[in-house]
Amino acid sequence: MAKTSLTGFIQKLLPLLRKQWPKTLCEVNHHNAYELMVGVILSAQSTDKAVNELTPALFKKYPSPTAMAAATPLDVEKMVHRSGFFRAKTKNILGACRMIVQKHGGQVPKTLEELVELPGIGRKSANVIMGAIHGIPTGIVVDTHMIRLSGRLRLSKEEDPVKLEKELCAIVPQNEWIYYSQGMVLHGRYICVARQPRCWECYLAPICPYPDKTPPPVGDKIKPAPKETITGLPIRLDASKVRDVH
């Protein structure tokens, strides 16, 4: 599909996505940039739900980059063990906090360029922080959900996160990058899931070119969708589109 056609498709998609997700949130619970930074490091190869369960105790003991920078690796490893890859994550968290103390006066940096210099923070994580904390659209967050949905919607065949982000940024208006990132990730987690996407409840179904749409379930063959996200956002379901998914 040509860029002009893709841009037009995005203009149709965004209002429908807003119907499904009128409000969005980053699903890593946080109160400040430090907590979000640690949370996104821990979320690698884990789930936001699991991370949200262990971080309250972690932040109670280590409430700031300065406190975390002085922590012993073994203690942090014990506290984040359930997130998986705990040794590597602990090394990155401590390394990031020590760099923040030594180079940034104990404050998480506020630019993309400085964030990606921190251990454990790549471009995706930096985009998350810049958008959720500062409201600055530095790029589009590309994770497994964004890659899957971009393929299903025929926006791109690209699976490399950096290349896909570049392609998406060229067709999505910059003032929509933060919403698009959060909305599409939520959509991929709760509606357009990897197996048996919930097409009969999807506001995007009328324009979605994905050929293998899941038909409406009969009886109890498919588990009902949750009514809200892990952060308490309501999951709006579009039952009126049932006829369009066959």
Active site residues: 124, 143
Say whether 232 sits in a helix, a strand or coil. Answer: coil
Amino acid at 121: I
Q: Cα dihedral angle (162, 164, 168, 171), rounded to 10 degrees?
A: 110
Per-residue tokens: 161 = 């996160």
Angle at 156 between CA 154 and CA 160, to 5 degrees: 145
CA dihedral 126, 132, 136, 138 (to 10 degrees): 30
Which candidate, 43, 79, 49, places its Cα nearest to that of 61?
A: 79
Instruction: Report DSSP letters for 165-201, one per residue.
Output: HHHHHHHS-GGGHHHHHHHHHHHHHHTS-SSS--GGG
Phi, psi of 234, deg, nearest 5: -70, 140
* Of 54, 63, 64, 57, residue with least CA distance to 28: 54
